[in-house]
């Protein structure tokens, strides 16, 4: 049986640290509220003069390649998860291909928000298992700070979402590997967390030429309570689904790397699964919620800290806009 295996992990976060105190100078919020409700103490925002989704992804990729002892030329396919591509189209996958100096290899963009990295991992896993490719780059990268409403009106999302990139390199292996991936969605809740424009859904009469060009129409809408309530249920469901599919119990998990949505959500899952603090990796305190980038950044840091050892069972899980939710179980 052929499996896919993660042979290298990398990440990149922008230099600029944005503290809760700094945000409270821009809008009516405070460190106590943000810490208590989300666990976030600081996050990173890009330098718009220098950083792009694709060049941050390239930095994360180079770290992953170096750790895997590979070079750019070894990559045969790119799967890029982002909801904040550099352009409306084409996707950032092709821009990353250009950044890495690669010619003509395929590049696929995935737009499944917080679940995007696990969706991307699942696609890569199938391509490796089928024998189609031998080395696939899976990336999650986001620049969300440029769409943040820094007035008090936008505070329920502005304090949460942030920027960063993470990368994983997958190759075939005769030992596991990625054990299974589980992907779900429920479009009935699409508008509970969404950005409407620049979408094609507006009626013709609403589309004044100045609106089409006005980037202030890029507005994140989130019904935080509703998202939270669904998240805690779906996280548990999809983790249990992954365990059942592999005849495992929650005691078999060595490390859970949840999407870094809100520390309260991670703590809820930890409690339900009766996991110790050292069995759940959280870095939302330092980076905020980086959507598709959060899991690969967290995995890259956890690996560097020696928290993912050979033979360990690693569980990834995510929930977010769509709604979409997903999990993966990996034998390290």
How many of the other CB atoms lie within 10 Å of CB of 216?
9
Location of structure tokens 């006005």: 214
Given 12, 182, 230, 259, the catalytic residue: 259
Query: Could you tell me the smallest distance in angstroms from the CB atom of residue 83 to ligand UT7?
Result: 10
Residue 85 in 3-state DSSP? Answer: coil
Taking CB under 6 A as the rule, which mask of x and - marks residues 30-49 in contact with ligand UT7?
A: ---xx--xx-----------
Given 112, 262, 289, 315, the catalytic residue: 289
Q: Give, as one character, the DSSP assignment of residue 83.
A: S
> What is the Cα 140 distance to its own chain's centre?
5
What's the CA dihedral at 119, 317, 18, 307 to 10 degrees? -110
Q: Does 231 contact ligand UT7 by CB under 6 A?
A: yes
Query: Could you tell me the smallest distance in angstroms from the CB atom of residue 97 to ligand UT7?
Result: 27
Is 114 an active-site residue? yes
What's the CA dihedral at 281, 298, 43, 163 to 10 degrees? -150
Cα–Cα distance between 70 and 77 in angstroms, integer?
14
Q: Does 162 contact ligand UT7 by CB under 6 A?
A: no
Query: Could you tell me the smallest distance in angstroms from the CB atom of residue 150 to ligand UT7?
Result: 11
Contact 86, 53 (CB under 8 A): yes
Is 315 an active-site residue? no
Site for ligand UT7 in 101-120 (CB under 6 A): 114
Which residue's CB is nearer to ligand UT7, number 29 or number 246?
Answer: 29
* Closest listed residue to residue 300, CA positions, set 166, 111, 162, 116: 166
* Closest listed residue to residue 5, CA positions, set 332, 329, 313, 314: 332
Cα–Cα distance between 29 and 160 in angstroms, integer?
12
Q: Does 193 contact ligand UT7 by CB under 6 A?
A: yes
Position among 17, 19, 26, 29 found at the interface with ligand UT7 (CB under 6 A): 29
How many amino acids of this chain bind ligand UT7 (CB under 6 A)? 19
Taking CB under 6 A as the rule, which mask of x and - marks residues 232-271 in contact with ligand UT7?
A: -----------------------------xx---------
Angle of CA points 101, 105, 109, to nearest 5°: 100
Which residue's CB is nearer to ligand UT7, number 114 or number 317?
Answer: 114
Site for ligand UT7 in 284-303 (CB under 6 A): 289
Q: Does 151 contact ligand UT7 by CB under 6 A?
A: no
Q: Does 144 contact ligand UT7 by CB under 6 A?
A: no
Which residue's CB is nearer to ligand UT7, number 36 or number 251?
Answer: 36
Contact 243, 329 (CB under 8 A): yes
Which residue's CB is nearer to ligand UT7, number 166 or number 176?
Answer: 166
Contact 145, 162 (CB under 8 A): yes
Interface residues toward ligand UT7, by CB under 6 A: 29, 33-34, 37-38, 114, 155-156, 159, 193, 224-225, 227-228, 231, 261-262, 289, 320
**Residues labelled catalytic:** 114, 259, 289
């Amino acid at each position: 049986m052929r499996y896919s295996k993660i042979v290298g992990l990398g990440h990149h976060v922008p230099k600029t640290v944005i503290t809760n105190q700094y945000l409270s100078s821009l809008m009516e919020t405070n460190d106590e509220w943000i810490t208590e409700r989300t666990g976030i103490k600081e996050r990173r925002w890009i330098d718009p003069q220098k950083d792009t989704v694709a060049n941050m992804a390239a930095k994360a990729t180079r770290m992953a390649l170096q750790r895997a002892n590979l070079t750019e030329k070894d990559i045969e396919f790119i799967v890029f998860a982002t909801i904040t591509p550099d352009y409306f189209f084409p996707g950032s996958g092709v821009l990353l291909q250009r950044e890495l100096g690669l010619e003509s290899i395929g590049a696929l963009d995935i737009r499944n928000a917080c679940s995007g990295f696990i969706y991307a991992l699942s696609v890569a896993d199938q391509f490796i298992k089928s024998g189609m490719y031998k080395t696939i780059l899976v990336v999650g990268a986001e620049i969300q700070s440029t769409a943040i409403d820094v007035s008090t009106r936008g505070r329920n999302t502005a304090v949460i979402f942030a920027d960063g990139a993470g990368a994983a390199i997958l190759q075939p292996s005769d030992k596991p590997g990625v054990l299974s991936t589980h992907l779900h969605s429920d479009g009935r809740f699409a508008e509970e967390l969404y950005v409407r424009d620049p979408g094609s859904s507006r009626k013709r009469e609403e589309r004044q030429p100045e609106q089409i060009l006005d980037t202030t129409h890029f507005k994140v809408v989130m019904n935080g309570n509703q998202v939270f309530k669904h998240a805690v249920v779906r996280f548990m469901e999809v983790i249990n689904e992954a365990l059942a599919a592999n005849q495992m119990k929650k005691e078999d998990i060595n490390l859970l790397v949840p999407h870094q949505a809100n520390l309260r959500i991670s703590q809820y899952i930890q409690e339900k699964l009766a996991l110790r603090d050292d069995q759940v990796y959280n870095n939302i305190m330092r980076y905020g919620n980086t959507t598709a980038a959060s899991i690969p950044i967290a995995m890259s840091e956890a690996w560097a800290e020696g928290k993912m050892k050979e033979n360990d069972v690693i569980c990834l899980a995510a929930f977010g806009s769509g709604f979409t939710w997903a999990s993966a179980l990996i034998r390290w």
